[in-house]
Structure 1
Amino acid sequence: MPHETALSEIETFLGDRLVRSKSDRALHGQNEAWFPEMLPDAVAYPETTAEVARIVGICARHGCPVTPWGAGSSLEGHALAAGGGISLDMGRMNRILAIRAEDMQAVVQPGVTRRALARELRATGLMFPVDPGADASLGGMAATRASGTTTVRYGTMRDNVMGLEVVLADGRVIRTGSGARKSAAGYDLTGLFVGSEGTLGIITELTLRLHGQPEAVTAATCAFDDFEAAVATVIATIQMGIRMARIEFVDETTAAIFNRVNGTALPEKPHLMVEFHGSARSAEEDAERFGEVVADHGGAGFAWAGTAEERNRLWRMRHDAYRACLASRPGCIGLVTDICVPISKLAEAVRETRADIAASGLPGPIVGHVGDGNFHAALLIERGNAAELATAKALAHRMAERALRLGGTITGEHGIGLGKKDLMALEHGAGWALMAQIKRALDPAGILNPGKVVETKA
């Protein structure tokens, strides 16, 4: 085994928490998307920052790659050990270290999941709002700069991570940020590591910004005869300053899939799914104003989710959309696109994308966080069909080019990983080379999550 010296040295102090079994390696070699299996040489299960630092220090001396693993829910191959070496499973670093209610902050280890933190906060009157759907680990969410359905009101992980503890590629441990609400002290190192996908350092602790739980929550769905009217409603709602907590779009294909999988009776038309947070009066007023906008744009079938149970069912259905789409074509795999454009260009981007998908012959249901101009097409590919995979990749490439032409980005929330690295030069030009320089400065041996985000060859 090429990295045996490093593995043997780590095993002396990690013991049976360095695992080389085929089953564990296979678990950490799979992914949620279309990438082939990539097995690490071993899986390490650290429990402290000191252990992570020691593992990384040993790997640095011996040139052994280290790939962080959270919950394994990413869609661009971020957590795959493309260079072999160690898969660093952070799942045992899962303690909530502090809830600072008076400062509206939480300090957590990276293996704490979003739902675990929500359970801990339930009695405090506070919440952590970033909701990507999957029960992702908070360390992984920070590493990929995750967002989700509530971003339109509460922002992404970039806006909700105040500070980090990070193990660098040589084993040093640093802290970034602070508990202060703002700072002008030097470079924004927290912002550098949030979204770096484990290529610059290993996150071992996070200080998170919390928000107050809303007094009242209202949610609804509404249908439109065409997607242009739905998108126009979104734009008008935003321009009017109506305070939405969520505003999601699903196309008619996705609505039909929801009906088959969930037993619902949605009109098989484009839909918006919305939620409002606030006081009882403000949430009601926002909902009424939104209803007026919907009516002005020909929306119909307005259905309110009046109870918490109904709201949870509604958003569970939306969050499970990817699984439902996969189930609609048994045995398929998915290539999920993730472009984001300025709101004013959203209708054009969706219209051109729908035409492109129709011409491709592939199933491609569309959902999106349209309040942010971010939408996804789930391109459903027959497993093992190389021609369909090539068609899907070409389609995704055209979508990325379209997003850039319209002033947007190739990824709104899923990140780069392995899947979008070949598109980075299109978006960033010489800036991508600068990212590679930063990578080489912090990780000269290239051991941290190699093959992801940047091109590391000099």
Structure 2
Amino acid sequence: MLKAVVGEPNVSTAAVVLEQHGHDESMHRCSPPDAVVWPQSVEQVSRLAALCYDHRIPIIPFGTGTGLEGGVNAIRGGICFNLTHMDRILDLNVDDFSVTVEPGVTRKALNSYLRDTGLWFPVDPGADASLCGMAATGASGTNAVRYGTMVENVVNLEVVLANGQILHTSGQGRRFRKSSAGYNLTGLFVGSEGTLGLITTATLRLHGIPEATVGAVCAFPSIQTAVDCTVQIIQSGVPVARIEFLDEVMIDACNKYSGLTNAVAPTLFLEFHGSQQGLEEQLRRTEEITQQNGSSHFVWSEELEEQNRLWAARHNAWYATLALRPGCKGYSTDVCVPISRLPEIMVQAKEDMKTSGLTGTIVGHVGDGNFHCILVFNSEDADESRRVEEFVKQLGRNALAMRGTCTGEHGIGLGKRQLLKEEIGPVGMETMRQIKSVLDPKNLMNPGKVL
């Protein structure tokens, strides 16, 4: 039946292909699907979904496989929909600052396409992820403090529902900047992790490329002073585009992996966007704040090559951390708290990591209160794996106790379902279940995730 819809070359049950599609970058063990299909159009996705619905077969969407919470693991078998063959950039509207893309388009491919338009898409989770996958997971990244997350940058979605119906969340072809028309269906599907439908196009908000950019680095005597500085920069109203924290272990790993020569100390990477005159004022004010917090060395550069080198090292933080224990597995968890509580929770996380005897780094988008602990462990060591799981749960609960969230951008997937219950409570969970039961009454859309 699947081959009748997409053709024989676009269906596979080969063991190596199933294994490839049964896991993401998380610590969760591989759970392969029963088959993988590569649809070429929304019409094919719709027909395939209707077939699965009629035969009660689970559906698991797959983009680039760069998720971090087991979102693509086929824990109940079923059909994996690999959407990467749908890779067209549609309906670019330069004057309206919008573009519509299919699931196979990644953020780097889009920005390369936009290069001569004066526009760009700034949401940057690090990995070259699928833009529709980024919408499905509610991704954000280093630029979120200035430009927002996927929640703020998705205008409209085309979604294939469990029964094969095609929904346009803001109305077909619409690309307005704002609306108060009815329920926010677009917001409902952003971050739904494939549990409510398959996103087959996303209409995105674009931004003007800044006239000038400056990158800066400054080291601090402690985590506390670095994060206190971050809070003060945000509170002062400096429109910083990126402000990233790396602890001393992370800086040392980045120095070795990416060939940097930064001081091995808690460090902020910053980037400023704007006019030349505006940047001078931003730099002056930021340097004053860093000095007040004990930073003795504030280094900035307008050279694009130097800035790219800096941010490439930041984006390679995952691989730099893995290199601390070659042959071991990595696990990255994230939480987000009110920015005023950030110093407290990061210092506590550092202490808990040491007490647990775990190897790991701390890195984060601290401008919006979001940070990651990247842990490296021997997955064959049951005791060490248990300590990793306990640390992750405790970190999540610490965030909840500070009025934060158990995940700022990775999503719930398999690993944080209990923390979600603790976060939103029984009424919130029941409301989510009711929404799920209406849109997916047979529980076929990425079952076992989120709820």
TM-score range, shorter-chain basis?
over 0.9
Alignment of 1:373-452 (within 5 A): 373-430=369-426, 431-452=428-449
Cα contact 2:5–2:47 (8 A) shared by 1: no
- Please, which of 49, 71, 74 is the counterpart of residue 67 of structure 2? 74
Cα contact 2:217–2:298 (8 A) shared by 1: yes
Q: Give the distance between the partners of 2:203 and 2:5, measured in 1 at CA.
A: 29
Question: Greater CA deviation, 227-236 or 18-27?
Answer: 18-27
Residue number in structure 2 paired with 1:181:
177
Q: Give the distance between the partners of 2:354 and 2:379, measured in 1 at CA.
A: 20
Residue number in structure 2 paired with 1:227:
223
Residue number in structure 2 paired with 1:315:
311
Cα contact 1:33–1:76 (8 A) shared by 2: yes
1:363 paired with 2:363, answer no
Q: Give the distance between the partners of 1:192 and 1:17, measured in 2 at CA.
A: 31
Residue number in structure 1 paired with 2:22:
29
Q: Give the distance between the partners of 2:239 and 2:10, measured in 1 at CA.
A: 48
Cα contact 1:193–1:200 (8 A) shared by 2: yes
Q: Give the distance between the partners of 2:160 and 2:86, measured in 1 at CA.
A: 14
1:49 paired with 2:49, answer no
Whichever residue aligns with residue 13 of structure 1, its letter is V
Residue number in structure 2 paired with 1:280:
276
Residue number in structure 1 paired with 2:259:
263
Residue number in structure 1 paired with 2:10:
17
Deviation at 1:348?
0.7
Q: Deviations over 1:379-398 (max 9, x none)?
A: 21113111111101111111
Residue number in structure 1 paired with 2:236:
240
1:91 paired with 2:87, answer no
1:169 paired with 2:162, answer yes
Cα contact 1:33–1:333 (8 A) shared by 2: no
Deviation at 1:314?
0.6
3-state SS of 1:436 partner: helix
Residue number in structure 2 paired with 1:6:
none
3-state SS of 1:122 partner: coil
Q: Give the distance between the partners of 2:278 and 2:75, measured in 1 at CA.
A: 50
Query: Percent of pairs identical after alignment?
Result: 48
Q: Give the distance between the partners of 1:210 and 1:259, measured in 2 at CA.
A: 34
Question: Greater CA deviation, 369-378 or 13-22?
Answer: 13-22
Whichever residue aligns with residue 420 of structure 1, its letter is K
Deviation at 1:305?
3.2
Residue number in structure 1 paired with 2:118:
125
1:149 paired with 2:142, answer yes
Deviation at 1:13?
2.4
Q: Give the distance between the partners of 2:114 and 2:389, measured in 1 at CA.
A: 41
Q: Give the distance between the partners of 2:217 and 2:440, measured in 1 at CA.
A: 48
TM-score with structure 2 setting the length: 0.98
3-state SS of 1:162 partner: strand
Deviation at 1:38?
1.0
Q: Give the distance between the partners of 1:207 and 1:258, measured in 2 at CA.
A: 35
- Please, which of 137, 140, 146 is the counterpart of residue 133 of structure 2? 140
Alignment of 1:292-307 (within 5 A): 292-307=288-303
TM-score with structure 1 setting the length: 0.96
Question: Greater CA deviation, 213-222 or 254-263?
Answer: 254-263
Cα contact 1:218–1:305 (8 A) shared by 2: yes
Deviation at 1:433?
1.9
Whichever residue aligns with residue 40 of structure 2, its letter is E
For structure 1, the residue ranges without an aligned partner over 5 or more in a row are 1-8
3-state SS of 2:2 partner: helix
Cα contact 1:153–1:244 (8 A) shared by 2: yes
Q: Give the distance between the partners of 1:88 and 1:13, measured in 2 at CA.
A: 13
Whichever residue aligns with residue 17 of structure 2, its letter is D
Cα contact 1:410–1:423 (8 A) shared by 2: yes
3-state SS of 2:169 partner: strand
Cα contact 2:139–2:409 (8 A) shared by 1: yes
Q: Give the distance between the partners of 2:356 and 2:393, measured in 1 at CA.
A: 13
Whichever residue aligns with residue 6 of structure 2, its letter is L
Q: Give the distance between the partners of 2:74 and 2:280, measured in 1 at CA.
A: 49
Whichever residue aligns with residue 35 of structure 2, its letter is A
Cα contact 1:218–1:284 (8 A) shared by 2: no
1:342 paired with 2:334, answer no
3-state SS of 1:299 partner: coil
Q: Deviations over 1:206-254 (max 9, x none)?
A: 1100000000000011100111110111011011000100000000010
3-state SS of 2:122 partner: coil
Deviation at 1:301?
2.7
3-state SS of 2:360 partner: coil
What is the Cα-based RMSD across aligned positions, in Å?
0.9
- Please, which of 346, 349, 356 is the counterpart of residue 353 of structure 1? 349
Cα contact 2:375–2:388 (8 A) shared by 1: yes
Cα contact 2:10–2:38 (8 A) shared by 1: yes
Deviation at 1:12?
1.7
